[in-house]
Structure 1
Amino acid sequence: MVAAVTFEGSADIAEARGLARDFLTSVQAEHGLPVSARAMGTVQLVVSELMTNARKYAPGPCLLDLEISEGAVHISVWDSSTAQPSVGAADPHRIGQHGLEIVMAVSQTFCVHREPVGKRITASVVLADDPGGDVAGHQAL
């Protein structure tokens, strides 16, 4: 189960979130895979943050891929910039620029791949919560 879309403008960020929501709704309804409310919101948040960064820091189009594999959705955003993203040091006085921190905190995996042109950032989010209410794939502290 895969969805892929190319986007051109900043207004497309809301459209990308909608695509993610519709994709997960379809996965649940048509394929019977469980998608928790937490996963639905988290995937939309990750899509929003990654798309915002692509639109803000890279010229030209960007590509959003969503793929279901092994009980998780893999969210991948390609953009044309070769600049590697950086996460700033914790600073409670910094306003903004927390997107990648958020994505890394809520995702099961996070990685950046250089491409022949640009880069691809991929994060994965588990679709279902454990019966005890813990996020699947993470251990409670």
Structure 2
Amino acid sequence: MDAAAQNEDQEPLVGGPIAASAAIEGSAEIAEARHMARDFLISVQAEHGLPVSARAMGMVQLVVSELVTNARKYAPGPCLLDLEISEGAVQISVWDSDTTLPSVGAADAERVGQHGLEIVMAVSQSFGVHREPVGKRITASVVLADDPGADAAGRQAM
């Protein structure tokens, strides 16, 4: 995984975005993408003082895993992962080179596999698919602090 512009060890520009990006080239790097998302959110908490609930931490890693897995499975070449904090949520964006837009099948509890986008849509505040000049970009947004009274482990503050 090639980290293109990660904010690690850097303060953001005043008023600038808190963001991280990486190019993901192999299926083995899907786990690294999840770790990058976790490390990014830990940095958001520690360095920027933004609350990140335990649920948000898990859901962001799940969304990253599902979107990157689909990109690596269905598109040739690398995919690009972008994470950005905006309006109390993390915007997750995955670009790949395949021009075919994904479709979400009707719910079917007996279907084995191909539930990734259903999962992403269920746990995300917003979801979108956009055709790009080359390929497509899938975006999802996960709220950082779904329970503002809880700490990162999900316990209620006293």
TM-score, structure 2 normalization: 0.82
In structure 2, the residue corresponding to 1:59 is in which secondary structure? coil
Identity of aligned residues (%): 83
The answer to whether the 8 Å contact 2:99/2:131 transfers is yes
Question: Where in structure 2 are the equivalents of 1:1-141 lying within 5 Å?
Answer: 1-131=18-148
Runs of at least 5 residues in structure 2 that lack an aligned partner in the other structure: 1-17, 151-158
Show CA shifts across 1:79-134 (max 9, x none).
Answer: 0000000111111210000000000000000000100000000000000023577x
The amino acid across from 1:4 in the alignment is S
In structure 1, the residue corresponding to 2:56 is in which secondary structure? helix
The answer to whether the 8 Å contact 2:95/2:138 transfers is yes
Cα RMSD, aligned residues only: 1.0
Show CA shifts across 1:44-79 (max 9, x none).
Answer: 000000000000000001000000010000000000
TM-score, structure 1 normalization: 0.92
Runs of at least 5 residues in structure 1 that lack an aligned partner in the other structure: 134-141
Q: Which residue number in structure 2 is paired with residue 139 of structure 1?
A: none
TM superposition outliers: structure 1 runs of 4+ over 6 Å: none
In structure 1, the residue corresponding to 2:39 is in which secondary structure? helix
Structure 1: how far apart are the matches of 2:71 and 2:29? 11
Structure 2: how far apart are the matches of 1:57 and 1:83? 9
Pair 1:110–1:49, CA change in 2 (3 A): same
In structure 1, the residue corresponding to 2:27 is in which secondary structure? coil
The answer to whether the 8 Å contact 2:95/2:136 transfers is yes
In structure 1, the residue corresponding to 2:110 is in which secondary structure? coil
The answer to whether the 8 Å contact 2:53/2:147 transfers is no
**Aligned pairs, number:** 133
